Amino acid sequence: SSYTAVIPAAGIGARMQAYKPKQYLKIQKKTLLEHSVNAFTNHPLIEHIIVVVHPDDETARTILTKDVHIVVGGEERCDSVLAGVNYAHEQLQSEWVLVHDAARPGINSGLISKLIDNVKCSTGGILALPLVDTVKQISPTASAEHSNTPRVDKTLDREKIWSAQTPQMFKTAALQQALQFAIQHSLSITDEASAMEAMGTEVLLVEGHPMNFKVTKPEDLQLAEYYLAQSQL
Ligand code: C5P
């Protein structure tokens, strides 16, 4: 089997309040994007790496090594991922793709192997984490007396809820079709698995690790540094 990593990095990181997109913020002198890419470069089963960038991006080409394929992304995350998946299918003829957020620098070889080992004989799957907190669904209607504060609609069964991480690993052709379908039908999808689910495909959940969290807010950088230092001990 052949495996290609597709790393969407075409977001503008609006929630990060930084002067540059979050994938270019640095921990230990390297950008988050480089940390994410390196985990795949160092993995013996990953044949190709595709990084999907914003059309105005001039940084990716200067920091990534020449063997990384660079593809231009789109408006939404799913458009960017589809651009990468199209390239993996048409240019590289890769059987499998592992889609991984540039903003998850905590990924490592062991987690990539765990995903591949558990998923390679199925239709696909993702790294994910069981929830530790009790989770509340918020009410669509506001409280009469406290209209500016959200209120609980109901408590969900925590035992039945995992949060999705990446990589998300699927057959390249199947993911390409699923993403095309989702985009054509304007489905609001926030990860690749949702597109596969919409096609009725089974998606396996493989337990990931908290260190593989998505850097989203300014304070997340320090936590990413901490995990990286821990992993080097
Ligand atoms: O915004 P969010 O945190 O969900 O972004 C997850 C990943 O998707 C980031 O690595 C971001 O750069 C990427 N992305 C993209 N194209 C977009 C939007 C987000 O590649 N249009």
For residue 18, pLDDT beyond 70? no
Instruction: Return the ∠ at Cα 137 (arms to 194 and 127), rounded to 5°.
Output: 35
pLDDT score recorded for residue 21:
86
Distance 17 CA to ligand 1 centre (A): 15
What confidence category does residue 15 fall into, taking pLDDT thresholds of 50, 70 and 90? low
Domains in the chain, start-ordered, CATH in brackets? 3-130+159-231 (3.90.550.10)
What ipTM describes this predicted complex? 0.93
Record the tokens describing residue 43, joined without a space.
């993995």
How confident is the model over 79-126, as pLDDT tens digits?
999 999 999 999 999 999 999 999 999 999 999 999 999 999 999 999
Distance 13 CA to ligand 1 centre (A): 7
Q: What is the mean pLDDT of residues 187-211?
A: 97
Is the Cβ atom of 10 under 6 angstroms away from ligand 1? Answer: yes
How confident is the model over 42-75, as pLDDT tens digits?
999 999 999 999 999 989 999 999 899 999 999 9
State the Cα–Cα distance between residues 168 and 165, nearest whole angstrom. 8
CB 85 within 8 A of CB 172: yes
Q: What are the residues whose beta carbons fall under 8 Å from the beta carbon of 18, sequence distance 6 or more?
A: 25, 218
Residue 185 has a CB neighbour count (10 Å cut-off) of 8
